[in-house]
């Protein structure tokens, strides 16, 4: 795999479930305003039906999780509002540092163990975060970020570790960051299909508060990945 790290000097001082779509983020009016989602596979095409918002998962075929699991909502808490997820997870997960602008579409999905409690951090398994900076609800041409936080170590970052086998490592403000960057041309030269039509892609892994963070970005801006990590580690 081609490894073209550009982060070490670029940020210096500086932590499939991608969402494509965009809205301007506004704080939730109440902590009980939860957006619950249900997905379904319809006929021969994969049509994603969602209550309140649409999601696209280009990297992993997870459409069946709602269609086949009637207990999904018992082990998953989903919302499109940062304020709502922070009301459950707290404000020390770097979630407020992930968006580069105030205008974006967001989705948060907290998974806990069966028969667990969302209020008990020991029951948490993972948190998936999707941010998209497009101009429509479904906008595959827009910059996007996916973050997967593994709380209990039972999950390994979905597909992201596959792109970190030959990654570089940098120490940034107390964080040890493993990262890799690749253009679409470089990916094609290596025979890889990235699942995004955008030109520049980045992947990173680091630890925060004992939790493993996995980051993936796609953009037509070659600096988008560096800017995202710079904000996380500021």
Residues 41-85 pLDDT 10s: 223 333 333 333 333 333 333 334 455 677 899 999 999 999 999
Lowest-pLDDT range, 22-31, 105-114, 166-175, 198-207? 22-31
Domains of the chain: which residue ranges? 7-232
- Computed over every residue of the chain, the mean pLDDT equals 76
Give the C-alpha separation, 167 to 85, whole Å: 31
Q: Rounded mean pLDDT of 23-35?
A: 36
Q: Rounded mean pLDDT of 109-121?
A: 94
pLDDT beyond 70 at 9: no
pLDDT beyond 70 at 25: no
The tokens describing 232, both together, are 């996380």
């Amino acid at each position: 795999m081609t490894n073209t790290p550009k982060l070490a000097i670029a940020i210096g001082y500086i932590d499939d479930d991608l969402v494509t779509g965009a809205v301007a983020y506004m704080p939730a009016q109440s902590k009980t305003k939860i957006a619950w989602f249900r997905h379904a596979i319809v006929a021969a095409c994969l049509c994603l039906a969602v209550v309140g918002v649409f999601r696209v998962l280009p990297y992993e075929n997870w459409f069946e999780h709602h269609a086949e699991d009637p207990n999904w909502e018992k082990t998953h808490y989903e919302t499109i509002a940062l304020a709502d997820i922070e009301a459950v997870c707290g404000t020390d997960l770097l979630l407020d540092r992930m968006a580069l602008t105030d205008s974006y579409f967001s989705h948060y999905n907290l998974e806990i163990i069966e028969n667990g409690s969302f209020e008990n951090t020991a029951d948490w398994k993972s948190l998936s975060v999707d941010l998209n900076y497009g101009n429509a609800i479904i906008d595959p041409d827009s910059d996007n970020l996916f973050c997967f936080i593994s709380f209990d170590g039972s999950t390994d970052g979905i597909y992201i570790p596959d792109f970190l086998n030959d990654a570089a490592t940098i120490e940034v403000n107390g964080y040890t960051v493993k990262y890799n960057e690749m253009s679409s041309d470089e990916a094609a030269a290596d025979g890889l299909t990235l699942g995004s039509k955008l030109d520049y892609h980045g992947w990173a892994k680091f630890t925060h508060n004992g939790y493993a963070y996995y980051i993936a970005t796609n953009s037509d801006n070659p600096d988008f990945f560096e800017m995202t990590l710079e904000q996380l580690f500021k």
